[in-house]
Chain A
Amino acid sequence: MQDHQHQEEGEEKEEPSPESAFEKSPFQLTAEDVYDISYLVGREILKISSEPQGEAPTRVAQLQFKIVRILEMLEALVNESNLTVEELKMERDNLRKEVEGLRKEGPPGNA
Chain B
Amino acid sequence: VNIPRKEKDFQGMLEYKKDDEPKLVKNLILDLKPRGVAVNLIPGLPAYILFMCVRHADYLNDDQKVRSLLTSTINGIKKVLKKRGDDFETVSFWLSNTCRFLHCLKQYSGEEGFMKHNTPRQNEHCLTNFDLAEYRQVLSDLAIQIYQQLVRVLENILQPMIVSGMLEHETIQGVSGVKPPGLRKRTSSIADEGTYTLDSIIRQLNTFHSVMCQHGMDPELIKQVVKQTFYITGAVTLNNLLLRKDMCSWSKGMQIRYNVSQLEEWLRDKNLMNSGAKETLEPLIQAAQLLQVKKKTDEDAEAICSMCNALTTAQIVKVLNLYTPVNEFEERVSISFIRTIQVRLFFAPH
Interface of A toward B, CB cutoff 8 Å: 2-3, 6, 12, 14, 16-18, 32, 34-36, 38-39, 41-42, 45, 52, 58, 61-62, 64-65, 67-69, 71-72, 74-75
CB pair A72–B199 under 8 Å, yes or no, is no
Whether A18 contacts B210 in the complex (CB less than 8 A), given A42-B42, A58-B6, A64-B42, comes out as yes
Q: Determine how close the nearest CB of chain B comes to the CB of A9; give it in whole angstroms.
A: 11
CB pair B40–A6 under 8 Å, yes or no, is no
Contact residues of B between 24 and 42, Cβ < 8 Å to A: 35-38, 40-42
CB pair A39–B41 under 8 Å, yes or no, is yes
Which bracket fits the contact residues of B?
Answer: 20 to 34
Whether A6 contacts B37 in the complex (CB less than 8 A), given A18-B214, A42-B42, A68-B3, comes out as no
CB pair B37–A16 under 8 Å, yes or no, is no
Give 8 CB contacts A-B under 8 Å.
A3-B203, A3-B206, A14-B206, A16-B203, A17-B210, A38-B36, A38-B38, A68-B41
Provide the bound-state CA to CA distance between A55 and B305, in Å.
Answer: 64
Q: Determine how close the nearest CB of chain A comes to the CB of B161; give it in whole angstroms.
A: 14
Give the 6 A-B residue pairs with the shortest CB-CB distance, closest first: A42-B41, A38-B40, A71-B37, A39-B40, A38-B41, A16-B206
CB pair B207–A14 under 8 Å, yes or no, is yes
Provide the bound-state CA to CA distance between A36 and B4, in Å.
Answer: 22
Task: Kindly count the residue-residue contacts between A and B in the assembled complex, taking CB atoms under 8 Å apart.
Answer: 64
CB pair B203–A35 under 8 Å, yes or no, is no
Q: Which of A17, A45, A62, A72 contacts B37 (CB 8 A)?
A: A72
In the complex, residue of chain A having the shortest beta-carbon distance to the beta carbon of B6: A61
CB pair B203–A14 under 8 Å, yes or no, is yes
Whether A35 contacts B210 in the complex (CB less than 8 A), given A41-B41, A42-B41, A45-B41, comes out as no
Whether A6 contacts B199 in the complex (CB less than 8 A), given A14-B207, A65-B6, A68-B3, comes out as yes
Q: Chain B 1-32, CB within 8 Å of chain A: the 1/0 string?
A: 00111101000000000000000000000000
CB pair A67–B41 under 8 Å, yes or no, is yes
Provide the bound-state CA to CA distance between A45 and B206, in Å.
Answer: 24
Interface of B toward A, CB cutoff 8 Å: 3-6, 8, 35-38, 40-43, 119, 199, 202-203, 206-207, 210, 214
Q: Which of A18, A32, A72 contacts B38 (CB 8 A)?
A: A72
CB pair B6–A68 under 8 Å, yes or no, is no
Provide the bound-state CA to CA distance between A18 and B209, in Å.
Answer: 12
Q: Determine how close the nearest CB of chain B comes to the CB of A18; give it in whole angstroms.
A: 7
CB pair A64–B199 under 8 Å, yes or no, is no
Provide the bound-state CA to CA distance between A18 and B35, in Å.
Answer: 13
Q: A35-B35, A38-B38, A68-B37 are in contact. List 16 more A-B contacts (CB 8 A).
A: A3-B206, A16-B207, A18-B214, A32-B35, A35-B40, A39-B40, A41-B41, A42-B41, A52-B119, A58-B8, A62-B6, A64-B42, A65-B3, A67-B41, A72-B37, A75-B37
Provide the bound-state CA to CA distance between A2 and B210, in Å.
Answer: 16
In the complex, residue of chain B having the shortest beta-carbon distance to the beta carbon of A36: B40
Q: Determine how close the nearest CB of chain B comes to the CB of A41; give it in whole angstroms.
A: 6
Provide the bound-state CA to CA distance between A45 and B45, in Å.
Answer: 14
Whether A2 contacts B199 in the complex (CB less than 8 A), given A16-B206, A58-B6, A68-B3, comes out as yes
CB pair A68–B207 under 8 Å, yes or no, is no
In the complex, residue of chain A having the shortest beta-carbon distance to the beta carbon of B213: A39
* B41 CB contacts on chain A under 8 angstroms: 38-39, 41-42, 45, 64, 67-68, 71
* B210 CB contacts on chain A under 8 angstroms: 16-18
* A45 CB contacts on chain B under 8 angstroms: 41
* A41 CB contacts on chain B under 8 angstroms: 41
Provide the bound-state CA to CA distance between A14 and B214, in Å.
Answer: 14
In the complex, residue of chain B having the shortest beta-carbon distance to the beta carbon of A73: B37
* B37 CB contacts on chain A under 8 angstroms: 34-35, 38, 68, 71-72, 74-75
In the complex, residue of chain A having the shortest beta-carbon distance to the beta carbon of B214: A39
* A2 CB contacts on chain B under 8 angstroms: 199, 202
* A38 CB contacts on chain B under 8 angstroms: 36-38, 40-41
CB pair B43–A69 under 8 Å, yes or no, is no
Provide the bound-state CA to CA distance between A8 and B71, in Å.
Answer: 49
* A6 CB contacts on chain B under 8 angstroms: 199, 203
